[in-house]
A and B are shown apart, each in its own frame.
Chain A
Amino acid sequence: MPAVAQWVKTLTFYEILIGMKATFSVFFHRIILRDRRAVTLQYPHEKRDLPGTYRGMIALLRYDDGTDKCVGCDLCEAACPSRVITVISAEVEGEPMKRFAKEYYMDMTRCLFCGLCVDACPVDALAMTKEYEWAVYNKRDLRLDKDQLLAIGDRNFPEREKKIEHQHHNVATFNIGYKNFPPKTS
Chain B
Amino acid sequence: MDTLVFAGASVVKIAMVMGVVLLTVAFLTLAERKVLSWMQDRMGPMEVGPYGILQPVADGLKLFFKEDIIPAGANWLLFSLAPILSFVPALIGFAVIPYGPNQAIEVFGVTVKPFVISDINIGILYILAFTSIGAYGVILGGWASNNKYSLLGGLRAAAQVISYELNIGLAIVGVVILSGSLSMVRIAEGQAGGFWHWYLFGGLQIVAFVVYVISAVAETNRLPFDLPEAESELVAGWMTEYSGMRFAFFFLAEYANMILVSCIAAVLFLGGWHAPTPQPLVVYLGWPHLAWIEGVLWFMVKVYFFIFMFFWIRATLPRLRYDQLMRFGWKVMLPLALANVMVTSIVVYLLRD
Contacts and interface: CB of A to CB of B under 8 A. Distances in A.
B46 interface: yes
Interface in B29-56: 35, 37-43, 46
A16 B38 contact: no
Nearest to A41: B43
Interface in A3-47: 16, 19-20, 22-24, 26-27, 30-31, 36, 38-40, 42
Nearest to B46: A42
Contacts of A22: 316
A163 B46 CA distance: 50
B39 A26 contact: yes
B270 to A, nearest CB: 19
B316 A42 contact: no
A31 B316 contact: no
Contacts of B35: 27
Interface residues of A, number: 15
B42 A39 contact: yes
B310 to A, nearest CB: 12
A27 B313 CA distance: 13
B9 interface: no
Nearest to B210: A13
Contacts of B249: none
A27 B44 CA distance: 13
Given A20-B312, A20-B316, A22-B316, A27 B39 contact: yes
Contact of A40 (B39, B42, B315, B317): B42
Q: State the majority secondary structure of interface residues on A.
A: helix
Contact of B43 (A27, A31, A40): A40
A42 B51 CA distance: 12
Contacts of B316: 16, 19-20, 22-23
B313 A30 contact: no
Contacts of A31: 38
Nearest to A20: B316
A73 to B, nearest CB: 49
B317 A19 contact: yes
Contacts of A36: 41
A40 B46 CA distance: 11
Contacts of A40: 41-43
Interface string B101-139: 000000000000000000000000000000000000000
The number of chain B residues touching the other chain, given as a range, is 10 to 19
Given A36-B41, A39-B41, A23 B315 contact: yes
A39 to B, nearest CB: 5
Contacts of A30: 38-39, 41
Nearest to B214: A13
B344 to A, nearest CB: 19
Contacts of B37: 38
A42 B43 contact: yes
The residue among A16, A22, A38 with the most chain B CB atoms within 10 A of its own CB is: A38
Nearest to A40: B43
Contacts of B43: 38, 40, 42
A12 to B, nearest CB: 10
B217 to A, nearest CB: 12
Contact of B313 (A20, A26, A42): A20
B41 A26 contact: yes
B126 to A, nearest CB: 31
Interface in A23-76: 23-24, 26-27, 30-31, 36, 38-40, 42
Nearest to B314: A23
Contact of B38 (A19, A20, A27, A42): A27
A26 B312 contact: no
A64 B56 CA distance: 55
Nearest to A36: B41
Contacts of B312: 20, 23-24, 27
A36 B313 CA distance: 21
A136 to B, nearest CB: 23
20 contacts: A20-B312, A20-B313, A20-B316, A23-B39, A23-B40, A23-B312, A23-B315, A26-B40, A27-B35, A27-B312, A30-B38, A30-B39, A30-B41, A31-B38, A38-B41, A38-B42, A39-B41, A39-B42, A40-B42, A42-B46
Given A23-B312, A24-B39, 8 more contacts: A19-B316, A26-B38, A26-B40, A27-B35, A30-B38, A30-B41, A39-B41, A42-B46
Pairs A-B, 8 closest by C-beta atoms: A23-B39, A40-B43, A19-B316, A38-B43, A23-B316, A27-B39, A30-B38, A23-B315
